[in-house]
Amino acid sequence: MERLQKVIAASGLISRRKAEELISMGKVKVNGILVKELGTKVEYSDIIEVDGKVIFKDVPKVYYLLNKPSGVITSTKDEKGRTTVVDLIDIEKRVYPVGRLDYDTTGLLILTNDGELANILMHPKNNISKTYLAKIKGILNKDDIERLKNGIIIDGRKVDTSNFKLKEKNREKDMSIIEITIHEGRNHIVKNIFSYLNHPVLRLKRTKIAFLNLDNLPVGKYRELKIKEVKRLYSLK
């Protein structure tokens, strides 16, 4: 027997965290009976409905790394009809993005139908590192550098910003390029860090998640993750 939320996540329908939310909200049935208790154990033969839809077990898991372009929504669908990251993955299986990148942010994004792995990568306790290249307005001064070394308070919570490098500075164009690695998943977090320092982000690209990088993957293209890469991601929990 397995816990209900784990079975739902393993089906690839939603992440484990989302499954837990729906269970608590009374959106999940097992064999036609409403279940609201987290940790409920289910059998393989049980029929599980999530928000009125029967989930299918044993869906083959797939894993993709996308170099997201600017102007694409990190979502499975968009009510305004804009292109989503899922539209860029030309496969029959349903996948969803792990985490998100802003509409105008480019770079590395993982898409999968493996809810358990998605939960590992997104859960704050696992401290998954994410590296970005930020083109910012202005030149960092000594105070800015000291603040980054000591960490920045964003919305009442301290962000470890000590792992950064100045890659380029151009006084004529009044801009700098900073590489920064953080372990945060909050929305707009990198933009908020540099806004706090009065250096607005002009362009942002995510270059790494944990050990994964873009290599020479062109913008808008994707590749399937190797089995050894998936196993290594699982080992991060």
Task: Write down the architecture of domain 2-54 according to CATH.
Answer: Roll (3.10)
Nearest-angstrom CA–CA distance, 109 and 212: 10
Domain with CATH 3.30.70.580 in the chain: 63-124+215-234
Q: Which two tokens stand for residue 113?
A: 């139908």
Active site residue 174: no
Dihedral of the alpha carbons of 205, 234, 124, 210, in degrees to the nearest 10 = -30
Residue 134 has pLDDT above 80, yes or no: yes
Pairwise pLDDT comparison (48 vs 170), residue with the higher score: 170
Average pLDDT on 46-59 reads 79
Residue 220 has pLDDT above 80, yes or no: yes
Domain with CATH 3.30.70.1560 in the chain: 129-209
Those residues with Cβ within 8 angstroms of residue 213's Cβ, 6 or more apart along the chain or in another chain: 108, 207
Domain with CATH 3.10.290.10 in the chain: 2-54
Nearest-angstrom CA–CA distance, 206 and 132: 4
Could you tell me the fold of the domain covering 63-124+215-234? Alpha-Beta Plaits (3.30.70)
Give the CATH superfamily of 129-209.
Answer: Alpha-L RNA-binding motif (3.30.70.1560)
The pLDDT of residue 51: 86
- pLDDT tens across 18-31, in order? 889 999 999 999 98
Amino acid letter, 210: A
Nearest-angstrom CA–CA distance, 115 and 48: 16
Residue 210 has pLDDT above 80, yes or no: yes
Residue 56 has pLDDT above 70, yes or no: no
- pLDDT tens across 179-195, in order? 999 998 888 999 999 99
Average pLDDT on 141-156 reads 96
Residue 11 has pLDDT above 90, yes or no: no
pTM: 0.79
Q: Which of 102, 143, 155, 174 is catalytic?
A: 102
Nearest-angstrom CA–CA distance, 114 and 60: 9
Calculate what percentage of the chain has a pLDDT beyond 90.
68
